[in-house]
Structure 1
Amino acid sequence: MSGPERRFPRSVFGRGSEPDARFSLANERTFLAWIRTALALLAGGVALEALDLPVEPHWRLAASLLLIALGVLAPAQAWWGWARAERALRERRPLPAPAFSGPLAAGVALAGVLVLVGLLTR
């Protein structure tokens, strides 16, 4: 057996026709960017709690947990977004809008506000 039936996931590669490799590779780079973002969010959340920063502990913990939660969700977005975009490429449809960008931006902004409040209330 060779071809799309052996590629994982079949729900992506079993549809449509093979797109231009440049577009698939760009989609893969976007996937990897989401993974790097997840690592940065996790590292930021851990560092916020691990370092002795002059931030009120409850606000620091809240910001840390929020960053870690976003870091746990980002790989799911990476996979889901990659699959949606790859299917669209294979089926010659318009690319879908990213689903997690808004909540990610709001969550990072909220974490920043939590740290700021924690700095000001210490």
Structure 2
Amino acid sequence: MSASGRFPRSVFNVGQEPDPRFTLANERTYLAWIRTALALIAAGVALELLGLDLHPGLRLAASLILIVVGIVTPLLGWRGWTRTERAMRSSEPLPSSPLGVVLGISVSIAGVLVVLSVLLR
């Protein structure tokens, strides 16, 4: 298949084809972000729907944070995949990703809200 028939063209029409192992590793990283997103959404839904004996407002806030971050994660993961793939194809340094920091801060905030909701019930 030619590069012009591959999606997205904005990635595959750039530079030269890298070693397939690097492209596949980049794809596996993106798929890991997708799995992480599914887990975040499931955790947010479960936290709210299980009706645990927690402070309702804080429980809802923690659930919403997890669900929203779960929605944003695939978008940032896709952006990271395209930037990394383009950099590999152009023999440029690999870009950094804000995704780890975003997830770390968000999950920490949700965790603090759950702890507070346990203490304030």
The residue number in structure 1 matching 2:98 is 99
Report matched runs for 1:1-122 at 5 Å.
Answer: 2-122=1-121
Deviation at residue 72 of structure 1 after TM alignment? 0.4
Q: How many residues align?
A: 121
> How far apart, in 2, do the equivalents of 1:114 and 1:15 lie?
45
Conserved? CA contact 2:77–2:99, under 8 Å: no
Q: Could you give the per-residue CA deviations for residues 9-62 of structure 1, whole angstroms, max 9, x where no partner exists?
A: 111000000000000000000000000000000000000001131211100000
> How far apart, in 2, do the equivalents of 1:42 and 1:121 lie?
25
> How far apart, in 1, do the equivalents of 2:86 and 2:62 lie?
36
> How far apart, in 1, do the equivalents of 2:87 and 2:51 lie?
47
User: Structure 2 counterpart of 1:113, which letter?
Assistant: V
Counterpart of 2:65 in 1: which secondary structure? helix
Deviation at residue 103 of structure 1 after TM alignment? 1.5
> How far apart, in 1, do the equivalents of 2:41 and 2:35 lie?
10
Q: Which of structure 1's runs of 4+ aligned residues deviate more than 2 A?
A: none
Conserved? CA contact 2:6–2:12, under 8 Å: yes
> How far apart, in 1, do the equivalents of 2:94 and 2:17 lie?
15
Counterpart of 2:18 in 1: which secondary structure? coil
Q: Could you give the per-residue CA deviations for residues 60-103 of structure 1, whole angstroms, max 9, x where no partner exists?
A: 00000000000000010111110000001100111111122211
Deviation at residue 104 of structure 1 after TM alignment? 1.3
TM normalised by structure 1 equals 0.96
- Structure 1: 5+ residue stretches without partners: none
> How far apart, in 2, do the equivalents of 1:108 and 1:54 lie?
20
- Structure 2: 5+ residue stretches without partners: none
Instruction: State the superposition RMSD in angstroms.
Output: 0.8
TM normalised by structure 2 equals 0.97
